[in-house]
Amino acid sequence: MGIEDIKKVRLEKLEGLKKLGIEPFPSQVRRTHTNKEVIDNFNKFLKSKERIFLVGRIRAIRGHGGSTFIHIEDGTGRIQVYLKKDVLGVKNYKNFQDFYDIGDFIEAEGTLFKTKRGEKTLEAKNFRMLAKALLPLPEKWEGLEDKEVRRRKRYLDLLANPEVKVRFETCARIIEVMREILKTRGYLEVTTPTLQPIYGGTLAEPFTTFYRALGQEMYLRISNELYLKRLIVGGFEKVFEFSIDFRNEGIDSFHNPEFMQMETMCAYADYKENMKLAEDLISQVAKKVLGKTKIVYQGKRLDLTPPFKRITMAEAVKKYTGKTLKGKALDEVFDKEVASLIIQPTFITDFPKETSPLAKEIRDNPDFTERFELVIAGRELANVYSELNNPIELKDNLEEQQKLRKVGSQKLVHPIDEDFIEALEYGMPPTSGIGIGMERLFMLLTDSASIRDVILFPAMKKKS
């Protein structure tokens, strides 16, 4: 039977329920406990003979003449429910047989017992439809051919593949633990604008929109960095934000146009101090979420135990390619030829000034800046500067970038945010911040090959 035929049958069942005066989509639900609470405290409830209301989606039905066993699943787990004709009455029992399907949401009222096989079960004294499912649940999906459908219809992916739900629960736990660590260290969580009058904070192409009420062009943020620095100017010393950023760029295994960054900003700190914080964040999150710091990612054994390796970008390029380079060429060769070769957690330090206009120069080597990227398994995971807090020098750097764009030697440049420069003119103390790509951390700690497997609803090309 095809899916449209199944839908037709279920629509007929829906109408059948209505004719009997049964509401297939009621508003109110009676629920006394979750399935997990009942399973975990089974003996207590069994002894008390307490009348219990459970709810959930029907995931299995096994009929045996005058009795039927079903499994219902709520957000905490599954439990068996026993439906008996002699207890429910002939009419109610027949209603279940005629109108209920796998996938329907149900409310069951009853008391507990154990089957001969020892399975914890609710014997239903009554039951009620909570939501009639008009389409059948999918079988477990396997193979690459279903990947696109699974990502487009994540709700079905979650229903068919329990491990997917566990993966996203792990991602949520990573955020929770990181937040706990930062708050323990005195960081304040803040919220900055997603819709910005001028974009900045990194090199990326923005999504542009028009705000009719103000009559002006606006941008979805590519970074929250410049707003966090404004907060440091305003007197906060330690701030952080889980920021949803948007970049109008291509989609691949490591890039999605909408993604999450965790960004910190800390007054009276430099990039070297943030190496310690970056190590602690990554290692402690792994320890608290996975229970270990030695993991396997896509067949590669990784040790997330501090301290991480440190090497300058120039040294890394020399080591892996034999080339001695400077400036933008150094950065390009590192990205194209070297980064993918660095597997164990490594701080790549001292970036060329041309590619880091928001970072401070290294005092005794002004062609390079106080900046590092944390590379793990061949990919950048975190980016850190000693923030340039000299407004005159910053404006000079940004103006130089504009010149490069005009001559065509650089496509993307930082726009000149005059309001931010004015903020710096009021004075910002020595400051450093960490930016961590959360989806890349999710990928690392869930052993996921694609960023689209750690985003619930990734960007997908519209189907024709």
pLDDT single digits (tens) 315-344: 999 999 999 999 999 999 999 999 999 999
Domains 3-131 and 148-453 share a fold: no
Contacts of 260 (CB under 8 A, 6+ apart): 242, 243, 244, 245, 437, 438, 439
237 burial via Cβ count (<10 Å: 0-12, 13-18, 19+): middle
Query: What is the reported pLDDT for 2?
Result: 87
- pLDDT score of 4 more than 70: yes
**For residues 337-356, average pLDDT:** 96
CA distances in angstroms from 321 to 300, 301, 337, 340, 382, listed in the order given: 22, 24, 8, 13, 24
Question: Which residues does residue 242 pair with via DSSP β-bridges, in sequence order?
Answer: 262
Question: For 3-131, CATH number?
Answer: 2.40.50.140
- Compute the Cα dihedral for 100, 104, 107, 110 and give only its sign: positive
- pLDDT score of 150 more than 60: yes
- pLDDT score of 134 more than 60: yes
Instruction: Write down the pTM of the prediction.
Output: 0.92
- pLDDT score of 300 more than 70: yes
Of the pLDDT bands very low, low, confident and very high (cuts 50, 70, 90), residue 106 is very high
CB 111 within 8 A of CB 51: yes
Of the pLDDT bands very low, low, confident and very high (cuts 50, 70, 90), residue 408 is low
**Residue where the block lists tokens 């990194």:** 202
> If you average pLDDT over every residue of the chain, what do you get?
94
**For residues 423-437, average pLDDT:** 97
Q: Where are the domains of the chain?
A: 3-131, 148-453
What DSSP string describes 60-116? EEEEETTEEEEEEEETTEEEEEEEEHHHH-HHHHHHHHHH--TT-EEEEEEEEEE-T
Of the pLDDT bands very low, low, confident and very high (cuts 50, 70, 90), residue 407 is low
% of residues, the chain, pLDDT over 90: 87
Query: What is the reported pLDDT for 142?
Result: 55
pLDDT tens for each residue of 50-93: 999 999 999 999 998 899 999 999 999 999 999 999 999 999 99
Q: Under CATH, what is the fold of the domain 148-453?
A: BirA Bifunctional Protein; domain 2 (3.30.930)
- pLDDT score of 145 more than 90: no
Beta strands at 309-312 and 346-352: parallel, antiparallel or unpaired: parallel
- pLDDT score of 140 more than 80: no
- Of 273 and 463, the structure prediction assigns the larger pLDDT to 273
**For residues 432-444, average pLDDT:** 98
As given in the structure block, the two tokens for residue 32 are 């006394």
Contacts of 199 (CB under 8 A, 6+ apart): 206, 219, 221, 222, 223, 415
- pLDDT score of 302 more than 80: yes
Core vs surface per residue 152-161: b (16+ CB within 10 A) or e: eebebbebbb
Between helix 225-233 and helix 418-425 the angle, nearest 10°, is 30
Terminal CA-CA length for the chain: 26
Query: What is the reported pLDDT for 143?
Result: 47
Query: What is the reported pLDDT for 144?
Result: 40
E strands present in 150-306:
188-189, 195-196, 207-211, 216-220, 238-246, 258-267, 294-297, 300-303
Alpha carbons 371 and 348: distance in angstroms, whole number: 8
- pLDDT score of 412 more than 80: no
**For residues 222-249, average pLDDT:** 97
Query: What is the reported pLDDT for 233?
Result: 98
